[in-house]
Amino acid sequence: MPYLDYAASAPLRAEALAAMLPLLERPAANPSSQHGQGRAARAAVETAREQVAALVGAAPAEVVFTSGGTEADNLAVKGAVLARPPGERQLVCSAVEHHAVLDAAAWAEADAGARVALAPVDGLGRVAPDRLAALLEPGRSALVAVMAANNEVGTGQPVAAVAELAHAAGAVLLCDAVQAAGLPGVDMAGDGIDLLALASHKLGGPTGVGALVVRTGTSLRPLLHGGGQERGLRSGTLPAAALAGFGAAAAAALSERHAGTAASSLAALRSRLLRGLRALVPDLEVNGTPDPVMAGPGTPDPVMVGPGAPDPTAAGLPGLLSLRLPGRRAEDLLLLLDRHEVACSAGSACASGAVTPSHVLVAMGRDPVEARETVRFSLGHASTQADVDAAVAAVAQALEVLAAAEGSRPTARAGQVVTP
């Protein structure tokens, strides 16, 4: 059963399960309790905090655990806006942010008097720092939100350059690093990031936990009130077992990055997948990341290669491949692939039931028809050549079925309308 949907959720790592089991097999203790079992649970939580901090170049005390990336983004957007007086609540977000950011910004505009501006992107999905700078209102800008790498097309963003612009305008920078925290990785301190959103399940940890990393000194209003956990920024009993899994997944992801082979291995699998699919559909188009074929035969695909490639420091996702297959509706292809037990998607899993085309692809210049012809394949820590080859074979069979169905449609006579 080839799984090529890591951008939606990564399979649980063995290291994460091993870290969780001891806490699941004994009585569940509240990490805030003062008895021995509570202290043991607290120790597991603090170990996880150190592991998550190490992954993103932060201090452990800056890690605020949440229920996932969506809550982290909401706490960042709403908390940063509410921490500023009414006249200083401007938000600037890239047009390709996750809906957890964009919808939170819409709330801030409707309910907190914020002014929201969307920074445009180019055809690869990159934010232009100069165009973003033109939208900022120095002294009145509260927050700039630019994700590390896009979850639908894989394009990396010039985070460090955006951070300088945000700080010069008196704003803080939110970087959604849910997809990029493992590979290619982020450096919170080095890139000047003030707020960093993470999700455990994208790293191979359990679902239902994540973190907002809050740089020391950043003003933030809490959204949840109660027991005052997480430095008063996020009240609620901490799930020690799930957090232990999150921490172990973060440590495993960091180890893979330090080994230096994970990114190149994923890029090679991505190139293999693209070559196989291009043989089936010669006119396919790569969304976001440039076509590695442009770089010449034998050139590895480090995600950002070819004419018009962005700054190499804004690395994209090495295992993500977003493709437009002209004339083939993604929903038809995905249905047929599912019958072959191949897991992939048309875009963000959070919008899988949406009837509107992807806002990311539209922002990049795709029209609605082209956006609905896009399929996203994403690879990760357990992906193999066998997965890739099986997926290509399944696509070949699916395309045959679609071609046969197309050929069986009746031909319209003059003046006759034939419904599909």
What is the rounded distance in angstroms from the CA atom of residue 60 to the CA atom of residue 52?
Answer: 8
Instruction: For the sheet with 374-378, list strands across it.
Output: 285-287, 320-324, 374-378
Cβ atoms within 10 A of the Cβ of 47, count?
Answer: 17
Integer Cα distance of 254 and 56 in angstroms: 9
Residue with tokens 């063995």: 14
**Cβ–Cβ < 8 Å for 315, 303:** yes
Residue showing tokens 């890139």: 191
255-259: Cβ within 8 A, 24+ apart: 256/182, 256/183, 256/381, 257/182, 257/183, 257/184, 257/185
**Angle 14-25/36-56 helices, nearest 10 degrees?**
160
Could you say which DSSP state residue 232 is in?
Answer: G
Strands laid side by side in the 115-119 sheet? 63-66, 210-214, 195-199, 172-176, 141-145, 90-94, 115-119
Q: Which of 375, 341, 339 is nearest to 358 (CA)?
A: 375
Provide the total of helices (H) and of strands (E) in the chain, helices listed first.
13, 10
**Which 8-state DSSP code applies to residue 82?**
H
Q: Is 350 a catalytic residue?
A: yes
Cβ proximity of 271 and 300 under 8 Å: yes
Catalytic positions: 350
